[in-house]
Amino acid sequence: MESCVRTKSKGIVAWPEGERPRERLLRLGAQALTDAELLAILLRIGFKGTSAVELGRQLVKEFGSLRAVTEAPLIALRGFKGLQGKDGAKAAQLAAALEIARRISVPDSREKVRVASTKEAATRLQSELHGLAEEHFRVLFLNRRGFLLEDALLAVGAVDQARPPIRLIVARALQANASAVILGHNHPSGAAEASESDRLFTEDALKALKPIGVKVLEHVIVGADAVFSFADSGLLDEIALLNGM
């Protein structure tokens, strides 16, 4: 005789409708949900014996905070139990959603954004690069009046390896019809100082961009608690002077 007793599911579908994250969001608004519940909506499903909400809690606990989850490299997300899989679909879905949130937290390059000083450049780049686990290299392309034409992430990698080819910066400058560029990258080690590699790269950029009429206005290095400015430190002028620019 078939038993009428069924094993209770541990998934969210077994929860009372009013307690499910998606239904709570629709009823109360996103601000009413916990960090784990918001992640659960992005994840959609957990794994055997673990609901999406519990998976969200485990993510927050493992990385330390929701912000830390957003800054975690993709390889760390893919290695987390519940996000593993040959196609990496769940980790990619989560990384994409978190990247959307990060991008809209900084000024949109399509807006009329003017970068009129080294301080404004440092503030923008610090908001984009601070706290990242990997080294990211960004370039701001500006017109003659200092308005932002494009804010581009051109390389991601390990320390001193996140360097885009100089020819790529030249090509993007020509494509954007830029008159000036501001270079920026972070040091995951936390040190806000210019290495010899940073200095040489800046020198190469100056040499390549000057012939096409594009100025290198600044190179910002974002550390843990501070930023280093090639322009404000006088290092940019020193490099230009040594190369007769």
Residue 27: what residue type?
Answer: R
Where b means 16+ CB within 10 Å and e means fewer, 149-161 reads: bbbbebbbeeeee
**Mean pLDDT score, 56-85:** 81
Cβ-count burial 75-104 (b if 16+ within 10 Å, e if not) = ebbbebebbeeeeeebbeebbebbeeeeee
Identity at 137, one-letter amino acid code: F
pLDDT band at 8 (very low <50, low <70, confident <90, very high): very low
The pLDDT confidence band at residue 234, using thresholds 50, 70 and 90, is very high
Residue whose C-alpha is closest to residue 95's, from 129, 70, 62, 132: 70
Supply the pLDDT for residue 235.
95
Nearest 5°: CA angle at 153, between 151 and 155?
A: 155
**Which pLDDT value is given to residue 146?**
93
Q: Which residues pair with 139 in a beta bridge?
A: 152, 183
Check pLDDT > 80 for residue 210: yes
Residue 2 in this model has a pLDDT that exceeds 50: no
- Of 77, 83, 16, 79, residue with least CA distance to 47: 83
Q: Output the pLDDT for position 184.
A: 96
Average confidence (pLDDT) over 78-90? 75
Give the global pTM.
0.61
Cα-flanking dihedrals φ and ψ of residue 184, to 5°?
Answer: -160, 140
